[in-house]
Structure 1
Amino acid sequence: MLAIRPARPADLDVMMELAVLSGRGFTSLPEDEATLAARLDLAEASFTGAVAPAEAWYTIMLEDTETGRVEGLAGVRAAVGLKRPHFSFRVMTLAQYSSAIGTRFDHQALVLVNECGGWTEVGSLFLRPERRSGGAGSLLARSRYMLIGAEPTRFSHTIMAELRGWFDEHGKSPFWEGVASKFFRLPFEEADRMVTSTDGQFILDLAPRHPIYVDLIDSHAREAIGRVHRDGEPALTLLEKEGFDRSGLIDIFDGGPTMTCASDEVATIRASRTLRLEIGTPGEGQALLSTTQIDGFRSVRAAADIGEAAVTISSEAADALKLRGGDPVRISA
C-alpha cells in the first residue's frame, strides 16, 4: 500500500536521489545536500510545531508500506515572501493610443512584481518515473490539500503552485536564454541553485526594473511564456481539477506559470469531512483518508464504506494511518 508520511532527516539520501532524478529547473528540489538537509530539519520542526506557523515548510514522502521505498515527495510551504521577496513576472497588457493618427495598440509586457507575500505554496511534487501512473501522483498531490485542511488556520487563504517552465529537447530553457539570462549573466544552474541556497539579494540587485515588451522578445522565448514543462503537464491537470487557475504570473527564470486557488475552493478540501473510524470489511468504493492533525500527519487512498457518522476501512489501511477504531479520520471522495 502507498502511504503519505512526514519527511524526516533520515530521508536525506533518498531525497538527494530524487533531486538527481528531477532534472533541470526543479528549483525546489536542488541537487545540494546541505540545502536538502536543512529542508528536512525544517520539515521535522514544522510537523512538531517547533517553528512559527508562517515559517513552516512541510515535506511529505510517498512510501510503499510493503517495501519501505520512498516513491516520491511533495511539499507545502505555509507562507512565501515574508522574510525575502518572492518575485515573479506579471504578464500585463499596456494600452497606447495616439489621437494624432487615431491608432491604439495593446502591448503585452512582462513586469517584475512581488505579489505573493504570505501565500501558501504547494509544490516540490516529484515521483519516480515508474510511479507516474496508477493514482500515485493524485495521492501525493491531494494529500497536500488534506494537510492544509487538517489545520487551515496555519495557512493562507490563497494557495499557489509554481510549475516548471518549458525546456527544449537539448535541456535548455528558451525563456532563460532569451530573457532572464540577459539580466543575471549566470549559468541557469547557478541562478537556480542560488534561489534556494541564498537570501535572493541577487534577484533584487539584477532583475529588470522596467516593463519588457513581449513583441521584442525572441520568438522561442516568447512561445515559452507560461508554457509548462512536458513532465509537469500531469501536475497541471491535477491542479486544474482541484480548481486552480492561471494567475497571470510566471517564473522569472524559466517562464513557468503560477497557478492559484482560494483554500476553501480547493476541491479536495471542500469535499472533506471528519468521521469516526471503524475497522472491518470495507465496501468497493475508494476514498482519500488522512489523520486530523498536522503532527504525525499520514494519508492513504483505500477502500472505504462511508456512512453518515463513521467510515469503515481495512486494518491494513488503519495501520498505514497509524489509527485505531474510534479515532477521528478525515475523508475526501
Structure 2
Amino acid sequence: MLVVRPAGPGDLDHLLELAILSGPGFTSLPEDPDALADRLELSRASFTGQAQVQDAWYTLMLEETDTGDIDGIGSVKATVGLKRPFFSFRVVNNAQSSPSLDIRLEHQTLVLVNECTGWTEVGSLFLKADRRKGGAGRLLSQSRYMLIGAQPDLFADTVLAELRGVFTPDGACPFWDHVAHKFFPMEFDQADYMTGSTDKQFILDLAPRHPIYVNLLPEPARAVIGKVHPQGVPAMALLESEGFRPNGLIDIFDAGPTVTCQRDNIRTVRDARALKVQIASEVEAELPGLISTASVAAFRAVRQKVAVEGETAVINAETAAALKVKAGDVVRVKS
C-alpha cells in the first residue's frame, strides 16, 4: 500500500536521492545535504507545531508500506514572501495606437514584481519515473490539499504553485540562456541554489528595473514563456483539475508559469468530508477514495476502498493501520 506521511530528519538519504533524480530547475530540491537536512528539521518542527505558523514548511513523503521505499515527495509552505521576497515576472499587455496612421499595436512586457506575499505555496511534487502511472501522482498531489483542509486556519486564503519551465533534453534552459543570464552572470544552478538558500538580495540588486519587451527577445526565449517542463505537464493537469489557473506570473529564471486558486475553492479542500471511522473485515465500495487523518500533527493519507454510510467511513484494518487510526477516530474522505 502507498501512504503519504510527514517527512523528518531520518529521510535525508531518500530526499537526497529524489533531489538528484529531479534534475535542474527544481529549486525546492537542491542537491545539497545540509540544505535538505535543514528542510527536514523544519518539516518535523512544522508538523509538531514547534515552528512559527508563518515559517511552517510541511514536507510529505510517498512511502510503500511493505518495503519502506520512498517513491515521491510533495510539500506545502504555509506562507511565502514574508521573510524573503517572492519575485516573479508579470506578463503585461500594453496597447499603443496612432489614430492618424490608423495603427494599433499590442506589446507584451515582463515586469519584475513581488505580489505573492503571505500566500500559501504547494510544491516540490516529484515522483520516481516508475511511479508516474497508476494514480501515485494524484495521491501525492491531492494529499497536500487534504493537509490544508485538515486545518485551514494554518494556511492562507490564496494558494499558489510554481511549475518548472522548459529545459532542452541536454539540460539547457532557453529563457535563462537568452534572457535571465544577461542579468545574472552565473551558472543557472548557482542562481537556482541562491534563490533557495539566501535572502534573495542578489535578485533585487541585479534584476532588470525596467520592463522587458517580449517582441525584442530571441524566438527560443519567447516560445517558452509561461510553458511547462515536459515532466511537469501531468502536475499542471492535476492542478487544473483542482481549480488552479495561470495568474500571469512566470518564474524569473526559467519562465515557468505560476497558477493560483482560492484555498476554499480547491476541489479536494472543498469536497472532503469529516467522518467517523468504522473498521470492517469487508468494505463494500466499488472505487477507492482518498482518505486522510483530520489533523496536521498526525497527518497521513491513502487511497483505498471506503464506504461512506451517513457520517461514518467504513474502512478495513489494513487501511486503518496505514492511517494509524482506530474505530471512532475522525478521518477526512474525498470520493
TM over 0.5: yes
Aligned to 1:110, the other structure's residue is in SS state strand
**Hey, what does 1:33 align to over in structure 2?**
33
Q: Secondary structure at the match of 2:63?
A: strand
Is the Cα–Cα contact under 8 Å of residues 248 and 258 in structure 2 kept in the other structure?
yes
- Asked whether the 8 Å contact 1:91–1:111 carries over to 2, the reply is yes
Instruction: State the Cα distance separating 1:101 from its structure 2 match.
Output: 2.8
State the shift of 1:104 in Å.
2.1
Match of 1:282 in 2: 283
CA contact (8 A) 1:289 1:302 kept: yes
For residues 55 and 84 of structure 1, the distance between their equivalents in structure 2, rounded to whole angstroms, comes to 11
- Counterpart in the other structure of 1:299: 301
Aligned-residue offset at 1:296: 1.8
Is contact 1:63–1:72 with CA below 8 Å preserved after alignment? yes
TM superposition shift of 1:188: 0.4
Say which SS state the counterpart of residue 133 (structure 1) adopts: coil
User: Is contact 2:145–2:268 with CA below 8 Å preserved after alignment?
Assistant: yes
Q: Would you say the 8 A contact 1:251–1:257 is kept in 2?
A: yes
How do 1:6-85 residues align onto structure 2 when only pairs under 5 Å count? Answer: 6-85=6-85
Q: Give the match for residue 329 of structure 2.
A: 327
Task: Indicate conservation of the 8 Å contact 1:285/1:305, yes or no.
Answer: no
Runs of at least 5 residues in structure 2 that lack an aligned partner in the other structure: none
Pairing 1:136-285 to 2, within 5 Å after superposition: 136-280=136-280, 281-283=282-284, 284-285=286-287
Q: Which residue of 1 aligns with 2:94?
A: 94
**SS at structure 2 position matched to 1:274:** strand
- Superposition RMSD in Å: 0.8
User: Does the residue aligned with 1:239 lie in a helix, a strand or coil?
Assistant: helix
Distance, in Å, in 2 between the alignment partners of 1:148 and 1:273 is 13
**Per-residue CA distance 1:108-134 (angstroms, 9 max, x = gap):** 011111000011000001101000000
Distance 2:247 2:121 in 1: 13
SS of residue matched to 1:68 = coil
CA distance in 2, matches of 1:102, 1:33: 61
SS of 2:92's partner is strand
Alpha-carbon distance, 1:307 to partner: 1.2
- Which residue identity lines up with residue 320 of structure 1 in the other structure? A
Displacement of 1:100: 4.3
- Alignment check: 8 A CA contact 2:246 2:257 kept: yes
Instruction: Please state whether the residue corresponding to 2:85 is helix, strand or coil.
Output: coil
Secondary structure at the aligned position of 1:185 is classed as coil
**2:226 partner amino acid:** G
| Structure 2 residue matching 1:175: 3-state secondary structure | helix
Q: TM-score, normalised by structure 1?
A: 0.99
CA distance in 2, matches of 1:277, 1:54: 32
Question: Sequence identity of aligned pairs in percent?
Answer: 56
What number of residue pairs does the alignment pair up? 333
User: Which residue in 1 is equivalent to 2:122?
Assistant: 122
Structure 1 residue 168: deviation in Å?
Answer: 1.1
Once the two structures are superposed, residues 200-228 of structure 1 have per-residue CA deviations (whole angstroms, 9 ceiling, x without a partner) of: 11011001111000000010010010110
Task: Report if aligned partners of 1:93, 1:106 keep a CA contact under 8 Å in 2.
Answer: yes
Q: Secondary structure at the match of 1:94?
A: strand
Amino acid aligned to 2:333: I
Q: Aligned partner of 2:185: which letter?
A: R
2:85–2:199: 8 Å Cα contact kept in structure 1? no
Amino acid at match of 2:241: K
Distance in structure 1 (CA, Å) of the matches to 2:14 and 2:71: 9
One-letter amino acid matched to 1:195: T
TM-score, reference length from structure 2: 0.98
Q: Determine helix, strand or coil for the equivalent of 2:246.
A: strand
Separation in 2, partners of 1:24, 1:195: 13
> Contact 2:175–2:255 (CA<8 Å) still a contact in 1?
yes
Alpha-carbon distance in 2 for matches of 1:218, 1:163 = 22
